[in-house]
Amino acid sequence: MIEKIQKNLMENGYVKVNNVISREILAKVKKLMNKKLISVLKKKNKNPKSKLNDNFYECKKIVSQHEIQVFLAKHLIEKGVYTEILNQKKIKEILINLLGPDLEYVTNSELAINSKAESDEYYVKKYHQEFWSGAGIASLLFWVPFYLKPGMGTVEVIKKSHTWGHIPHSNREPIELPENYLSEKVNIKEGSLVFFTPLTLHITVPNKLKEIRVAAPITVRNFYYPKIGNEDLWEFKKLNFSFFSHFRKILGNPQFSAFRTFNQKRKSIFLKEKIKKKY
C-alpha cells in the first residue's frame, strides 16, 4: 500500500486514503464540537439546540464564523483528537514512511466549515497552493472530513500541479494556468481523508446542502527538516519520536554531557515512555 501511495503522491500531488478513521473517533469529534458550541451559547445567555448544525448557526449570530472555526479546532486539539487521528495505524504508517519518524503537526489552525449560504472567498477558496500561506515544501497537508454527507462536496485538486513549482498569483488565485490540465473533485466519505503537497493546487467545492460541512486541515512535518516559509511563526505539537530523539531526551542536553545520569538516584521519566516498535 505504501509504495502505491508514494507513487500516487509523486505522480499526481495528492492521495485519497479510505477508511482510516474509526466511527468512534468521528462520533467523539461531533460530540465535542457540539458540546463546545453549547458552552459558548450558554455563556452568551442563549438557548442551545440539540443538533450540531443548529448550534453552529446560533453561534454564528453572536460570533464570526472564523472565531467558531478557531475555537472548535483549539478545543479538539486540546482534547487530543488530532493526535488520536494522526496516530491511527494506517495514517501513522503513511506519515512515517513519507516524512520519517520524527513528526509534529500545526496546532494554531482552524477548522474548514462550509455552508450552502456562505460565499465569502475566505471560506470558499479559489485555486491556491498552501505554499502561498507559508507552508514549507517538506510538509504534508491533510484534509480530514468530520461531518460530510453526499452532496456536501469536498475539495477539487489539479493533478500534477505540484510539478509546476510556485505558481504566480495575485489576490489569492493563480494569474494563469496551463490550457490543458486535469482536475478531480475528491470523492471520499467520513472516515477517509485526502492529503497533498504544499504545491498542489486545490479549490473548495461548494456545499449544496443546508447542513454544514466540517473538515480539519492538518499540516504535518518532520521536526528535523528546516522550517521555511512562515513555519517558524506557527505552533506545533510533537506527534512521534524516533529512537534517536528519545535518546536525546534521555541524555538531556545537546552537549551529551559525560556521566550526566550515571548512578543517578532519581528515576528517569523518559525511560518510562513507551518507545514505538516502528520508526
Mean of pLDDT over the chain:
93
Residues 145, 139: Cα–Cα separation, whole Å: 20
> Is residue 220's pLDDT more than 60?
yes
Q: What is the pLDDT of residues 178-205, one digit of tens each?
A: 989 999 999 999 999 999 999 999 999 9
Position 265 confidence tier, pLDDT thresholds 50, 70, 90: confident
Q: What is the pLDDT of residues 94-140, one digit of tens each?
A: 999 999 999 999 999 999 999 987 889 999 999 999 999 999 999 99
Residues 225, 173: Cα–Cα separation, whole Å: 28
CA angle 161, 15, 127 (to 5 degrees): 40
The widest CA-to-CA distance across the chain, in whole angstroms, is: 70
For residue 240 the three cell numbers come to 512521534
Closest CA to 193 of 213, 218, 227, 168: 218
Closest CA to 241 of 276, 211, 212, 208: 276
pLDDT of residue 119: 85
Residues 68, 112: Cα–Cα separation, whole Å: 10
Q: Are 220 and 99 in contact (CB under 8 A)?
A: yes
Position 13 confidence tier, pLDDT thresholds 50, 70, 90: very high
Closest CA to 194 of 108, 91, 74, 64: 91
pTM greater than 0.75 (yes/no):
yes
Class of residue 171 by CB neighbours under 10 A (exposed 0-12, middle 13-18, buried 19+) = exposed
Residues 58, 49: Cα–Cα separation, whole Å: 8
